[in-house]
Amino acid sequence: MNAAIYARVSTDKQAEQGYSLGAQIADCTAKARSLGATLVQEFIDDGYSGAYLDRPALTSMRDAVRAKMFDFVVVYDIDRLSRNLSHQLLITDDIESAGAQLHFVNADYKASAEGRLFYAIRGAFAGYEREKIRERSMRGRVAMLKQGKVIEDSHVYGYDFDKENHCYIINELEARNIREIFRLYLMGFGGTSAIARHFNANIDKFPPPNRRKWAVSTIHDILKREMYTGRFFAHKTYHFRTGLKSERRIERPPDEWIPMQCPPIISDEEHKRAVELLSKNRTFDLHRKRTPFLFQGLLYCTQCGRMLNVRRNGKNVAYYMCIHNQNDGNFASCGSRNFQCAPTDAALWELLESICQSPEAVENYIRKSLPPPAPGAGAEDARQQELSRIHQERQSILQWVGDGLISHEDATARLKALKAAENRLARVNTCKPLAPVRTDAGAVYEAVRNCPPTPDAKRQIVRQVIDHINIMRTDAGTGRKHYQFDIQIFFRK
C-alpha cells in the first residue's frame, strides 16, 4: 500500500512549539507504517500559512491523489492540513473521491456522518484558534508599545537596539555622522549629492551604513527622519497578505499611531530647518545643475490643488505636469493637461507685468482673487463619515480574505479603489491653501516694475512677491505653444 504524508509549518515559532517538520514526518511515517504502508512519499510545505489553499506541496499531493497514486493520506493534525474549514472540507472531498483514506496522528476521523460532523467542528475550532492567537498577539504588542517599549528592531541608522530593555540606544559613531550631515546641510555646504560625494571621498572617516558607499537617498532619508529628534511613531502600518509568501504594508489611520520616544541625536530646530530646506531645494532645484524655470514650484493645478512638477519628454522639452493627470493606481486622474514650461513662463511674466501697472491695479487684482467662503461644518462631517466608512470596508475586505470569501485579486482591486477614494477626500486638507489678502500692493508694484531684465533677478522677485498660482489649461487645440489658461495669482503678505 502507498501512503502520502503531508507536513507544514508556517513560522519558526511553530517549530519551537512542537510542530517541527521533523517531528511531524516521524509521527506521520510511524502512523502510515502501522496502517500497512510499504511505500511512503513526503509532501512538505515549509513556511506556508494554513490560511491559504494554494500551497506547492499540497497542490502536488492533491494532483497525485486524484491520479490514484496513494491508498491513504496521513497528516499530523487537522490544522496542519488547513486552518480554513471550507478548505479542509474541499481537500477531504478530493481525497475520498479518489478512493483514498484520510488519517490524522492527533485526531480520529471516520468517513461517516458523525465523523464528518466532528471533523467540521474541529476545523471550525482550528480557524477560531488561529484568529484568537492573532488577536491576542496583536493586543499584547499594542500594550507593550503603549508602555513605551520597542518590540522589534527596525535597524535605524544611528541607533542600536537594547533587546533586554526594549529600547533604542545611540550608536555614537553613527550619530557623529548624522550630526555632521545636518551641520553641513544647514551651513550651506551643498545638497544631498554634494554631501554624499564628500562622505565618499572621506569614507574612512565616515563609514557608510552598507559598508560600501554613501547614496544620495541615504543622506536624504537621514535629513527627513524625525526619529533623530527623539520622537517617532509605532503601529503606523499593518501587513496585508497578497499571496502565499507575499504581503504589502498598508498605513493605519493617524489616530491609531502610538507615539514613542528614544534618545535624541539632533534638536527639533535642526530637523525643522533641514526639512524646510529640503522642500525648498526640491521645489526650486537649487542644488541641481539644470537652471530652474521661472515659476517652477509656484504653480498648482486648479483641478485638484496639487503642485505642478517639471517633466521632460524624449526630446528634452520641459513641461509643467500635475501628478494627477495620469492614473497610476494610487490617484484618480484629475484630467488636467500638460503645457511647455518656457512659453508658459513668458506668458505668466507678461501677465504679472500687466497686473503691476500701478499699486491700485495690484490692489484691484488682489481683491478679485478673494477666496470663496470656507465649507461649513456639515461638509467636513460628511467627509469624516466617508473616511470612516472606507476604513471599515477595508477591514471587512481583509477579514473576507482571511475567511476565504473573496479572492486576492478581487481584494487587491477593491483596496486600490478604496485608497484612491481616500486620497481624493484627503485632498481637502492637502491642497495648497489660499494666501490671506493682506498684501502690500505698493511693494509688489515696486518690486516688479524695478526688476532687472535677467533670469536670476526675475526668479528672485517672483519668489519674493508670489505665494502660489492656480493654473489650468482651457484651450481645446493641440498646439504645442499656443495655450489658453485660467490663471489666479496669489501674492504674499
Confidence of residue 130 (pLDDT cuts 50, 70, 90): low
- Calculate the average pLDDT of the chain: 80
Q: What is the structure's pLDDT at 371?
A: 54
Give residue-wise pLDDT tens across range 353-367. Answer: 999 999 999 888 888
Edge-to-edge strand list for the sheet holding 39-46? 39-46, 2-9, 72-75, 101-104
| Signed CA dihedral, 465, 469, 475, 480: sign only | positive
Say yes or no to pLDDT of 467 above 90: no
Contact indicator for 69, 60 with CB cutoff of 8 Å = no
- pLDDT score recorded for residue 479: 55
In angstroms, how far apart are the furthest CA atoms of the chain? 103
pLDDT confidence of residue 430: 45
pLDDT band at 455 (very low <50, low <70, confident <90, very high): confident
pLDDT at 435 over 60: no
What is d(CA 391, CA 425) in angstroms, rounded to the nearest whole number?
13
For the segment 54-73, the average pLDDT, to the nearest whole number, is 90
pLDDT band at 161 (very low <50, low <70, confident <90, very high): very high
pLDDT of 330 reads 47
The dihedral built from the CA positions of residue 171, 212, 191 and 284, taken in this order, carries a sign that is negative
Helix (H, G, I), strand (E, B) or coil at 436: coil
CA distance linking residue 178 with residue 212, whole number of Å:
17
Report residue 84: phi and psi, to 5°: -120, 125
List strands edge to edge, sheet with 466-473.
299-301, 466-473, 485-491
Length of the chain: 493
Residue-wise pLDDT tens digits, 400-420 = 776 666 777 677 767 777 776
In the block, residue with C-alpha cell 512542537? 18
In this structure, are strands 258-261 and 231-234 parallel, antiparallel, or unpaired? antiparallel
- pLDDT value of residue 329: 47
Confidence of residue 129 (pLDDT cuts 50, 70, 90): low
Selected residue with higher pLDDT from 401 and 483: 483
Query: Which tens digit of pLDDT belongs to each residue from 91-101?
Result: 888 888 888 98
Tell me how far apart the terminal alpha carbons of the chain are, to the nearest angstrom.
Answer: 89
Burial of 4 (0-12, 13-18, 19+ CB in 10 A): buried
Q: What region does 49 belong to: left with phi over 0, alpha with psi -120 to 50, or beta?
A: beta
Task: Record the pTM.
Answer: 0.46
Please report the pLDDT score of residue 117 as a whole number: 66
Provide mean pLDDT across the span 79-97: 82
pLDDT band of 431, cuts 50, 70, 90: very low
Q: Which pLDDT belongs to residue 134?
A: 67
d(CA 195, CA 182): 10
User: Taking 80 as the threshold, does the pLDDT of residue 45 lie above it?
Assistant: yes
The pLDDT of 48-58, averaged and rounded, is 82
Higher pLDDT: 401 or 480? It is 401
pLDDT above 90 for 153: no
- Lowest mean pLDDT, pick from 233-242, 269-278, 293-302, 368-377: 368-377
State what percent of residues in the chain have pLDDT above 90.
25
